[in-house]
Structure 1
Amino acid sequence: MTIFKTRSFWSAALLTLICSILGTLLGGLPYLKIIGALVISLILGMLMQIHQPTIKIAKAGIGFISNKFLRLGIILLGFKLNLIDLAHAGIKTILLAAIIVTCTITIGYNIARKLGVEPQLAILAASGTGICGAAAVMGISPQIQVPAGQEEKKREDEVLAVAIVAILGTVFTLIEIGIKPLLHMTPTQFGVMTGGSLHEIAHAVAAGGSGGPVSLDTAIITKLSRVLMLAPAALIIGIWYQKKVNKGQSSGHQKLPTPWFMLGFIIASVIGTFVPLGATVLAWLVKLAYLVLGMAMAALGMSVNFNVILHRGRNALLAASCASVILLTFMIIVSKTLF
Structure 2
Amino acid sequence: MSSLFPFANRRNAMIGIILTLACSLIGQALASLPGFSLIGHLVLALVLGMVIQFSQSITKMARESTGFIANKFLRAGIILLGFKLNLVILMSAGLKSLEAAVFVVAIMITINYFVARFFRVDHILALLTACGCSICGAAAVMGISSALKAKADQSVLAVAIVAILGTVFTLVIVFLQPFLGFSNAQFGVMAGLSLHEIAHAVAAGGSAGPVGTDSAIIAKLSRVLLLAPVALILGVFEAWRQRRKSGDTNSKFKVPIPWFMGGFIIASAIGSYIPAVEIAVPTLVKIAYLILGMVMAALGLNVNFGVIAHEGVRPLTSAALCSVVIMSLAWFIVRTWF
TM tier relative to shorter chain: over 0.9
Match of 2:84 among 80, 83, 86: 80
Q: Give the corresponding residue for 1:216.
A: 213
Match of residue 184 from structure 1 = 181
Which TM-score applies when normalising by structure 2? 0.95
Which deviations, in whole Å up to 9, do the C-alpha atoms of 1:158-182 show, x marking residues without a partner? 0000000000000000000001111
Q: Quick check: 1:127–1:137 contact (8 Å CA) kept in 2?
A: yes
Instruction: Determine the C-alpha separation between the residues in 2 that align with 1:125 and 1:246.
Output: 23
| Equivalent position to 2:171, from 162, 170, 174 | 174
Equivalent residue for 2:138, pick from 134, 137, 140: 134
Q: Secondary structure at the match of 1:248?
A: helix
Amino acid at match of 1:318: T
Match of 1:317 in 2: 316
The alignment yields a C-alpha RMSD, in angstroms, of: 1.4
Cα distance between partner residues in 2 of 1:38 and 1:180: 27
Please tell me the residue identity of whatever aligns with 1:17: L
Preserved CA contact (<8 Å) 2:243 2:253 = no
Distance 2:245 2:21 in 1: 41
Retained in 2: the 8 A contact 1:119–1:245? no
Contact 2:13 2:61 (C-alpha < 8 Å) held by counterparts: no
The partner residue of 1:235 within 220, 232, 235 is 232
Give the gaps of 5 or more residues in structure 2.
Answer: none
Q: Is the 8 A contact 2:137 2:196 kept in 1?
A: yes
1:106 maps to 110
What CA distance in whole angstroms lies between the structure 2 residues aligned with 1:307 and 1:246? 31
Q: Is the Cα contact below 8 Å between 2:27 and 2:45 reproduced in 1?
A: yes
2:126, 2:252 → 1: CA distance? 25
**Could you tell me how far apart the structure 1 residues matched to 2:216 and 2:168 are?**
17
Equivalent residue of 2:70, what SS?
A: helix
Aligned to 2:157: 160
Change (3 A) 1:321 1:11: same
Distance 1:60 1:254 in 2: 33
- Equivalent residue letter for 2:284: L
**Which secondary structure state, in structure 1, belongs to the residue aligned with residue 302 of structure 2?**
coil
Q: Would the aligned equivalents of 1:113 and 1:119 in 2 still touch at CA under 8 Å?
A: yes
> Aligned partner of 1:324: which letter?
S
**Is the contact between residue 85 and residue 225 of structure 2 (CA under 8 Å) also seen in structure 1?**
yes
User: What is the letter of the counterpart of residue 244 of structure 2?
Assistant: K
Q: Which moved more, 1:321-330 or 1:159-168?
A: 321-330
Percent of aligned pairs with the same residue?
A: 52
- Segments of 5+ residues of structure 1 without an aligned counterpart are 147-153
* Deviation readout 1:303-328 (Å, 9 max, x if unpaired): 00111111101111111111111110
Correspondence for 2:256 = 257
Check the 8 A contact 1:7/1:58 in 2, yes or no: no
Q: CA–CA distance in 2 between the matches of 1:66 and 1:7?
A: 18
User: What is the CA deviation profile of residues 232-288 of structure 1, one whole-angstrom value per residue up to 9, with x for unaligned ones?
Assistant: 000001111221366323644452111110010011001101112355411000000
Deviations 1:165-220 (A, max 9, x none): 00000000000000111111101110010000000000001000001110100000
Pick the aligned partner of 1:18 from 22, 25, 47. 22
Normalised by the size of structure 1, how large is the TM-score? 0.95
Give the distance between the partners of 1:253 and 1:20, measured in 2 at CA. Answer: 41
Tell me the equivalent position of 2:335. Answer: 336
Whole-Å separation in 1 of the counterparts to 2:242 and 2:140: 20
Alignment match, 1:273: 272
Instruction: Tell me the amino acid that sits aligned with residue 176 of structure 2.
Output: I
3-12 vs 193-202, which moves further: 3-12
Q: 1:250 to 1:48 in 2, by over 3 A?
A: farther
Q: Distance in 1 between matches of 2:236 and 2:6?
A: 32
Paired position in structure 2 for 1:150: none
| Inter-partner Cα distance in structure 2 for 1:224 and 1:316 | 26
Q: Is the 8 A contact 2:79 2:260 kept in 1?
A: yes
Report how many residues are paired.
332
Which amino acid in structure 2 is aligned with residue 56 of structure 1? K
Q: List per-residue Cα deviations over 1:52-86 (Å, max 9, x = no partner).
A: 11111121201100111111100000000111111
Relative to 1, partners in 2 of residues 1:12 and 1:44: Cα closer, same or farther, differing over 3 Å? same
Amino acid at match of 2:257: T
State the distance in 1 between where 2:210 and 2:74 align: 32
Q: Which amino acid aligns with 1:319?
A: S
How far is the alpha carbon of 1:8 from its aligned partner?
A: 2.9
